[in-house]
Amino acid sequence: MTASQKIWALHLGLIAVLFAAQYVLPPYHATNLARIMVLSIFAMGYNIAFGYTGLLSLGHALFFAAGMYGMGLSLTLLGWTALPALIAGLVAGGLLAGAVGVLALRTAGVSFMIVTLMFAQAGYLALLYFGTITGGDEGFNPDRSLRMIGSLDLSADTPRYLVALGLFALALLLCLWLVRSPFGRVMVAMRENEERSRMLGYNPFAIKLITLVLSGFYAGLAGAAYGLLFGYVGATFATIQYSILPMLYVLLGGAGTVIGPFLGALAMFYLIDLASGITDAYFFVVGAALVALVLFAPKGILGALRERGVRWLP
């Protein structure tokens, strides 16, 4: 079996397993898995920027929230149907990432982190300020009758799971294609040595901006899908917590690996779920797990696997 065949088998196999899981898992876990798949799309987007291109952003909650509100307001204010509203959310995330990138990419490293964080905070405050439209702190729930694609009721368990899986599969395969394309190699080259890439004739600003916009599209799609499938649009999703979560998913699963963000989201989601059943201070448990991760597997689950012999993992 060639490396390429192994790669396709692994990724298509994961999608097949997730498809089968809905028939095996109890409804509670199936709903959790649908949520994890949507959050994984968010993390995949973060991974494109951070894991592959080296852009450490603290502002991705803004792009997620842009997608969520882009979708939600298109449904409720503009009267669009679910599918165009979902696309509006995706576009909102990408466009906002482009606008932020044009300014923030004039900085690098820690400055880039701080600038993106400030943009996200400004976005969060804007959501609160324009509360008459956005629902402010409480957000809003799009009516169940609006959450339909044709006759498919997205608030029902099975359609919700299938749509989450469909979007996840699309995002995963697109990400796999991207990172194995020539542009994917340039992204890694940029992460490894920006000056050397410049000396090969690449414009670092342009490459990083394209990457950030792609990452924003993923975050926007995830935000839109989350609001549509789970019926809530809220300012909480624009807080810094939602900028840090995708970073943790990526670090846990393995930065610069295609499946890593899914594994990280799965592990982190259930770690929080289990820990919160034991103690109110569940973030202590999460923190301890992360410290252990940094000490024993600093490259994350798949990063460690890749280092120990599975070198073909993309």
Partner 1 sequence: MLQINGLTAGYGPVTILRDLSFQAAAGQVTCIMGRNGAGKSTLMKAIMGLVPAQSGQIALLGQPLHRLPAHKVPLQGVAYVPQGRRLFGPLTVGENIDVGLLARNGGAKTRNFVLDLFPRLRERLDQTASTLSGGEQQMLAIARALCLEPKVLLLDEPTEGLQPSMIALIRDTVLKLRETGLATVLVEQRVESVLRMADQVAFMAHGRVEAQVSVTDLRPDSTLFRQFVGV
Which amino acid does the sequence have at 207?
I
In angstroms, what is the minimal distance from the CB of 46 to partner 1?
19
In angstroms, what is the minimal distance from the CB of 188 to partner 1?
6
Of 143, 159, 160, 152, nearest to 231 (Cα)?
143
Q: Which is nearer to partner 1, 2 or 145 (CB)?
A: 2
Residue 80, both tokens: 């669009």
In DSSP terms, which residues pair with 233 in a beta bridge?
Answer: 140
Which amino acid does the sequence have at 27?
P
In angstroms, what is the minimal distance from the CB of 3 to partner 1?
8
Task: Yes or no: say if 93 and 67 are a contact pair by the CB < 8 Å rule.
Answer: yes
In angstroms, what is the minimal distance from the CB of 55 to partner 1?
17
Q: Which is nearer to partner 1, 189 or 271 (CB)?
A: 189
In angstroms, what is the minimal distance from the CB of 248 to partner 1?
22
Q: Which is nearer to partner 1, 195 or 280 (CB)?
A: 195
Task: Yes or no: say if 221 and 89 are a contact pair by the CB < 8 Å rule.
Answer: yes
Distance of CA 32 to the CA centre of its chain: 16
d(CA 100, CA 257): 25
Which amino acid does the sequence have at 107?
T
Residue 135, both tokens: 């629902």
Which residues contribute to the site for partner 1 (CB under 8 A)?
182, 185-186, 188-189, 192-193, 195-204, 256, 311
